[in-house]
Structure 1
Amino acid sequence: MVLASVASRLIALSVGVAVLSVGATTWVISGRVEASTRAEAAQTLADDSGIYQALVDYGGRNASWEDVGPTVRSLAEHYDRRIALREVGGPLVVDSAVLLGGPAEPLRARPDATLDPLSPALGVLAGDTFDPGGVDGLEVPAAPAADLEANAGRVTTATACLDGLEVGYELVDLPDGVRDVEVDWPAGSTTEEDDATWACLEPVYELLPSQVEEQRRQDATVVACLARAGVGATAEPDGGGVVLDPPSEDGDEALERCYDQDLRSRTAPPVQLFLGSETTDGALLRTLLTGQTASAAVALLAVAGLTAGLTARVVTAPLRRLSAAARRIGAGDLGTRLRTGGRGEAAEVGAAFDAMAEALASAEGARRQLVSDVAHELRNPLGTISGSLEAIRDGVYEPTPEVLDSLTEEADHLRHLVDDLQLLATADRGALHVERHPLDLAALARSVAEVHLPAAAAAGVRLEVAAPPTLAGHGDGARLRQVLTNLLGNALRHTPSGGAVRLVVAAAGDRARLAVEDTGEGLDDADLERVFERFWRGDPARTRDGGGSGLGLAITRALVHAHGGEVSAAATPGGGATFLVDLPRQG
């Protein structure tokens, strides 16, 4: 009985010490796992973009990936990431894990991207830039002196022209020493003003002397290739291209083949890119295995001893699961979850871990979706412009005013899309500022509605405004006009002929409420949760012509938040939707 009593007391004491130790250990682990996962989520976009861009640049400067090992090793050490390249449908080209002396672990089933120097995907997003000078061995060589001299003169000419138009700009130094001119495009500028601004920039984008020499070399190579194919051709002076003599459809096909052969001979072939943690432990595991965690474990084992072995095993089981889950996440398996049940500290840590893992997976999914959406939105206008220019170059049709107007329209769409993305990126950085002044919100609403009356009439939709004679407010008139324009345009697109759209303006104490109500197809619960997401459309079958770019409501939310307000969406009883903007009336 005495031994049993002593054993019982020892086990109770061991369990008490173990509980305290585990509580301290799990607190340290929880905080460090949270910090690591948040840091990794924030850095993933920038790191992937930098790695991708550096490898695309390498492939564009080299005819093969044979000597890419030092570049991959340097990138892997700089970003602390495992980087592997594999031939499409073929063997492994290089693996940073092997280069750094680690094991050659299996790659994931699907690559993160396909690198093709001749058809690169979007490498830099949302204003991020990649500086190869920040990675050992990837410094960009300086441009030839003749290029720098020509560029300096052209930049001087362009800036003098922009100064004459009173258009703001910023000089940007590129890694090779060449300067670019980045224009601060004024809001609300006319097409004529934009054309004049582009005319000022034309000298900056003309070929530099070294580029002219490279074009001459390419033209000479293509002419020689055509000669071997029995096709007559001459090279235009100053790298102006190749002219068939005489022109023919067979000659056009041969010309395209010769250009492709020359480009392929000087660039590396497509390869598959795999990204992951450089080691199986990863940043999260290194965070877990610290001196504090080890000390807590040693104290637990010293106090509990053999008598409390079973108890220690039971108590530390959640930690072992957490450590294994952290290893899997560090290796790239973002679907790992603990799904612990019950109550107590271990259950709370498991729930916190699952929440952080879900946030990390969501961030990764959002990054991949953003890349896919931006590429999709850019593909159509770029394809149209490229196809039309090739058709004009090949003489398929003449560059008539109608054709040029169509190309200008596509270019304008691209510019507006980039402007919208830049606005959202500015809002994400918390740098979106608005110029607040006293204004009449009722008059602003009537003015915006009047602009949309022709579109509403053409669509057979009745557009009404319910507003007091005046409603004093405080805000940026141009930005609030953009908010109402986005909401009214969205409502008109989703309201069938015979329906109605109503713009309501009302005061609610020191707040102003602007509501846009429609009798369209309405929104279900799932739509209400996603309606303000970027590139989201209620009907996936809608094109950008019929359904907008998918950025309007996201921009609306950013602008309303910049005013200190809130915007929400609700389904209208009986069909339709209501978008409500709640703004402070005072600045």
Structure 2
Amino acid sequence: MTRPGLRGSLVLRLLVLSVLISVCSIGATAWLAVRTTARAIHQEQGQAFADDARIYDALLGLAAGQDDWHGAQPLVDRLARKTGHRIALTDQNRRPFADSAGSSGARSAPLPDRASATVDPLAVDSVFVPGAVDSDRIDPRAVGPFRLPPTERDHLRELAQRKAACLHDVFGIDTTVTTTPSGRPRLQTYLVQPPTGSRCEAVDLGEPTATEARALARLNTLADTCLARRDAPPVQLALDLTWTTTGSRSPAARRTQAQCLATARREQLTPYVAPPALLFVGAPDPEAAVPSSPFDLSAPNRVRIAGVVGGVLLLTVAVTVVLGLRLVRPLRALTGAARRFKDGDVSARVAVTGRDEISRLAEVFNDMSRRRAELERLRTAMVGDVAHELRTPLSTIRGWLEAAEDGIVPADRALISSLLEEALLLQHVVDDLQDLAAADAGELRLHKGPVDLADLLRQVAGAHRGRADKAGVVLAVDTADDLGGLHGDPVRLRQAVGNLVSNALRHTPAGGTVTLRGRRAGDTALVAVADTGTGIAAEDLPHVFDRFWRAEKSRSRSTGGSGLGLAIVRNLTQAHGGTVGAESTLGAGSVFTLRLPFSGETSGAAADAEARRGTPRRSS
């Protein structure tokens, strides 16, 4: 057997598999790195958006509090230093109001073709300031004529502080005074609602001041004018810009009223806020002190990544080689044992270590080797037994013929009868061997038909009556009335029962009894041959159906037959789909029982398989 080449080596295949797995792992790692990079880029984009939103909100607050862009340059410079971006603010014709690049004195690059946003406090971009926008998209810091003068503001603040002190002293409620963009103070309590009807209610902060009353009246007039153009009834506005109306309160009417209120507010606030401006936010300044990205693919990092990948691949190959060698070692041992087994060494075995698939394969091989050794032992013993069985009659015939040739004994009728007896014995051994060989080869054919069991037992008893009388043994037949018949080969069944009777007569002394019994047990016929002979020892009972086995080890013709009769009985019974068993008590006798199905039908393949088995089969 040639040694497998490198292409068929298991180690090489494992190595290729491990390299493939490593490549897939590296690919997965690369994919993960790409995803990490994308996440880092997304985070930087999010940071850039946050910077843009902060810039937009600061400039929006400036525009909401004054009617022009005066003072925008210092704010732009401060935001540019904080974010590291170039910030430019222009009018609709791209004439600059402020530019962080221009203030540094360096020559600035052209502005992008598209503006980042439009800064208009009356039309806030909800992308940048989603939380500070009402439904009318007007910045809450744009208050216009609602802005309180210092006198009104101070007066209201004094009232608010007095009310906060009252709530604290009387009810123990902590209150904070906050200021709205218009300058009006507002009380803010935490988790506690101030009680109503107390003396603290005497301080009323809800009444509009003179400034607020004028602005509110002007706004109400503008809103009513818009509603009149839409044939809608007028509304009455409150200081918090809610309204009441005597007209319809349907959703459509409410939408019309809200639209007119927004239009009126824009018309009222336009003179008080800065005009819309284009906002340009450029790339970060390389010299600005902003945090760098956590992901870096510099040359040292690439070398480090390549080293890690190479190390992982090398470690994978090393581990695979070690595991592959450990896996191949028992396979090589198994291959060597199989090669010795093929060369005829039936004692070849493999050491079994572990409980994996290879160990189970080794166990199966050892079982096969032991079975082969047992079959070889049986074959050798059978050849010796056949030689012994044939040698005895042949030697007898040869001896008598040589004596007659030399004139030592006369060639009379007595000599011829003796030679005929030995020839018949030889023919009997040959016939038995032929029957067993046919059964082993699956060529034992049965000619089945109806068989009357009671009649068959009487025929067998009649055939052996003379021998029984000569031996002084009583031969009896005992059959049940309901025994009936079965479907089988009458010749082969008589042969099987006859072999049992011959065996019983051989081992039953004079004065003993051999009984043929027939009984019915459901769908099974029980045919038993019982004797009162010498019996069989318990340790010998499992071997009675082995070929050439005899309890008398000397194999004397005076005490035993060829040792094939019971083996033939077993094969014939199995060919009929039945079983045979033996029970015996040493010194009391033996009982051999055939169990045959009344159907008598068994497939040819099953019968052939049963007949081919050369090992004894015990009956339960």
Range into which the TM-score falls when normalised by the shorter chain: 0.3 to 0.5
Superposition TM-score, scaled by structure 1 size:
0.47
Greater relative CO (CA pairs within 8 A, separation 6+): 1
